[in-house]
Amino acid sequence: MKLASSYNRVNLLAGICILLITGLFYYRAISYILTSQLDKELKVEEREIIGSVKAKSKIPASTKFEDQQIIYTRTPLPSPRLFFNMEFDNQREMELGRELITNVQLQGENYQVAIILSRVESDDLIQIIFLITIVTAIVSLLILYLLNRFLLGKLWQPFYSTLAKIKNFQLQSPDFNFPISKIEEFTELNQVVQNMAARINTEFSDLKTFTENAAHELMTPVAVMRSKLDSLIQTDKLSQEQTELVSDIYQSVSKMARINHSLVLLVKIDNKLLQDIALIDLEQVIQDKLKEFQELATTRGLFFTINLSSVKVTMSRYLADILLNNLFTNAINHNHHGADINIELNENYLSFSNPALNDTGLTEKIFERFQKSSSSEGTGLGLTIVRQICTGLGYHLSYCFINKRHVFKINFHTS
């Protein structure tokens, strides 16, 4: 959820809670004020009755009007003075009223006086005031929500602009041109991002230079070593044991060259330095690779089963070649004599599968650098390179062990 939406939701919930609490308090306050007003009217009526009894020395007759009733009742003892809400018959229907019970004395006798005033008008007034208040508050909340949504969108526009530039950040063009913001926090954020990008670019340039120099410098002595070892192997002066030792050294040097090449390739893939992007026919590329690896597969006693559809993807031709080379090599090297290699391609995925004697138990760890079996003669970087290529293209690479088969699947659609 976006920050603006979260803020609006919290603001709206808080507003509703405040509205309910203040509405209840407001209702109670209005009710108390109007009830106090009725009590004042009852006290005025009480004083008039007491004054009339003293002046005329007689108890007036009980009266019943639509909104007021006064009832006199002789009692042996004085009645306590009380105010309370009640229901009374106003000659048409029962309705709410406010009653005062008091007492007057005449010639030594006690008379209870019940003075009743209708609460209908007061309650109607309370409801109208409360309804108007609630409607006004709801409309205010709605207006506030819409204003917040509009104003926050404008207010956070510099942040979203900065975020978009960060998402599109590339080491090849690290400069940011942020619009000038009047908000201090956004200006500070933009400055921090610019400084960070500058540091990243400097460190990347240094690392790139070092990697390129190291790779270049390593290739020369490795090439010399391989050349010298070739010459040494071809001489007739070596014993069988010495020949085997030299062969082991030669293989180690060749492996070092492959590791060096793979690490340099990973750096280029990670930093998207391979820009020969084109629309390629993946089915045709796989068919070409089948021809290249057919002889090696036949030598190992392996055969291919294929199910290919015409699929075109946009990617680097060089990376497509590396991707398929590693998948073919992995399937051939980790297989046994007489087994098959199944290749399936459709618009949704590309999969390679081959039988295996045992489950590796590695799952996703199989794509980590230098993760390989003890019997493998590879560099342990092939599947890592495959994963990096897929990640750069937005594809999802997965591995599973099903029905005693290794299955590598590249899903072209990750959503």
d(CA 13, CA 392): 42
Q: 320 and 222 in one domain?
A: no
- The region of weakest confidence among 30-34, 62-66, 151-155, 369-373 is 369-373
Residue range 216-261, pLDDT digits in tens: 666 667 677 777 777 777 776 777 777 777 777 777 776 666 666 6
Q: Do 374 and 335 fall into the same domain?
A: yes
Q: What is the pLDDT of residue 174?
A: 58
Q: What is the band of 384 on the pLDDT scale with cuts at 50, 70, 90?
A: confident
Mean pLDDT of 119-130: 77
Query: Which CATH number does the domain housing residue 287 bear?
Result: 3.30.565.10
| Same domain? 141 vs 19 | yes
Query: Is residue 351 a part of any domain in this protein?
Result: yes
157 is a domain residue: no
Q: How crowded is residue 326: how many other Cβ atoms within 10 Å of its Cβ?
A: 21
- Residue 104's DSSP bridge partners are 111
Same domain, 286 and 406: yes
pLDDT over 50 (residue 171) = yes
* Residues 141 and 204 reside in one and the same domain: no
Both 73 and 209 in one domain: the answer is: no
Which domain-ending residue is among 101, 122, 151? 151
Between 1 and 288, the higher pLDDT residue: 288
The token duo for 146 is 């819409």
Whether 374 has a pLDDT exceeding 50, the answer reads no
Residues 129, 82 share a domain: yes
Mean pLDDT of 50-76: 83
b/e per residue 10-43 (b: at least 16 CB within 10 A): eeeeebeeebeeeeeebbeebeeebbeebeeebe
Same domain for 130 and 209:
no
In whole angstroms, what is the distance from residue 362 CA to residue 383 CA? 13
d(CA 325, CA 307): 18
Whether 161 is covered by a domain: the verdict is: no
Residue-wise DSSP of 43-105? HHHHHHHHHHHHHHSSPPPPEE-SSEEEEEEEESSPPPPEEEEEEEE-SSSEEEEEEEEEEEE
**Is 406 a domain residue?**
yes
Rounded distance, CA 40 to CA 22, Å? 27
172 and 260 assigned to the same domain: yes
- State whether 15 and 140 are in the same domain: yes
DSSP annotation of 367: G
Q: What is the average pLDDT value for the chain, to the nearest integer? A: 78
Closest CA to 63 of 25, 128, 117: 117
Q: Are residues 102 and 74 in the same domain?
A: yes
Q: Convert the pLDDT of each residue in 184-213 to its tens digit.
A: 888 888 888 888 888 877 877 777 777 666
DSSP H or E segment with residue 351: strand 349-355
Report how far residue 103's alpha carbon sits from residue 77's, in angstroms, rounded to the nearest whole number. 9
User: Is residue 258 a part of any domain in this protein?
Assistant: yes
User: For the chain, how long is the longest CA-to-CA vector?
Assistant: 153
- Token representation of residue 133: 């208040």
Q: What is the pLDDT of residue 307?
A: 92
Packing angle between helix 382-393 and helix 317-333, nearest 10 degrees? Answer: 140
Nearest CA among 208, 395, 211 for reference residue 320: 395
Number of domains in the chain: 3
**291-348 pLDDT, tens per residue?**
988 988 888 899 999 899 988 888 888 788 888 888 898 888 888 888 899 999 999 9
| 189 located within any domain | yes
Q: Taking a C-beta distance cutoff of 8 angstroms, is the pair 387, 403 a contact?
A: no
**pLDDT computed for residue 273 by the predictor:** 58
Task: Determine contact, residues 316/385, Cβ cutoff 8 Å.
Answer: no
Q: Which of 306, 365, 364, 366 is nearest to 334 (CA)?
A: 366
Q: Are residues 137 and 36 in the same domain?
A: yes
CA distance 61 to 101: 16
Residue 264 lies in domain: 166-273
Do the domain assignments include residue 61? yes
Calpha distance 373→76 (Å, rounded): 110
As a whole number of Å, the CA-based R_g of the chain is 46
The confidence band for 83, taking pLDDT boundaries of 50, 70 and 90, is confident
Q: What confidence score (pLDDT) does residue 342 get?
A: 92
Q: Which of 151, 183, 216 is the last residue before a domain boundary?
A: 151
Asked if 275 and 392 touch (Cβ cutoff 8 Å), the reply is: no
Q: How far is Cα 165 from Cα 159, in angstroms, rounded to an integer?
A: 10
Q: Tell me what pLDDT residue 336 has.
A: 83
* CA gap 245, 119 in Å, rounded: 112
Looking at 273, 297, 314, the residue that finishes a domain is 273
Per the CB < 8 A criterion, the answer to whether 78 and 110 are in contact is yes
Average pLDDT, integer, range 100-113: 86
User: Which pTM was predicted?
Assistant: 0.45
Residue at 291 is within a domain: yes
